[in-house]
Amino acid sequence: MSTTDAVRFWDGVYADRPRVIDPQPNVLLAETVSTLPPGDALDLGCGDGGDALWLARRGWQITAVDISVVAVERLAGLARSHGLGDRVVAERHDLRQSFPQGRFDLICAHYLHTPFDLDRKTVLRRAAHALRPGGRLLVVDHGSTAPWSWNQDPDPRYPTPSEVAAGMNLNPVTWTVERADAPRRIATGPGGRTAEVTDHVLLIRRTA
Q: Where are the domains of the chain?
A: 3-206
Q: Is residue 152 pLDDT above 80, yes or no?
A: no
Mean pLDDT of the chain: 92
Structure confidence at residue 3 (pLDDT)? 75
User: How do residues 79-134 score in pLDDT, each as one tens digit?
Assistant: 999 999 999 999 999 999 999 999 999 999 999 988 888 999 999 999 999 999 99
Structure confidence at residue 2 (pLDDT)? 65
Q: Where are the alpha helices (DSSP H) in 19-87?
A: 27-33, 50-57, 69-81
Q: Is residue 177 pLDDT above 70, yes or no?
A: yes
Q: Is residue 71 pLDDT above 80, yes or no?
A: yes
What is the CATH topology of the domain spanning 3-206?
A: Rossmann fold (3.40.50)
Structure confidence at residue 1 (pLDDT)? 54
Integer Cα distance of 64 and 1 in angstroms: 24
Name the residue with higher pLDDT: 193 or 12. 12
Least confident of 27-31, 80-84, 149-153: 149-153
pTM of the prediction?
0.92
Structure confidence at residue 50 (pLDDT)? 96
CA 175 to chain centre: 19
Residue 76 Ramachandran class (φ > 0 left, ψ -120 to 50 alpha, else beta): alpha
- Report which of 70, 89, 82, 94 is spatially closest to residue 6, judged by C-alpha positions: 94
Integer Cα distance of 55 and 39 in angstroms: 10
Structure confidence at residue 155 (pLDDT)? 73
Structure confidence at residue 4 (pLDDT)? 86
Average pLDDT on 36-54 reads 97
Size of the chain in residues = 208
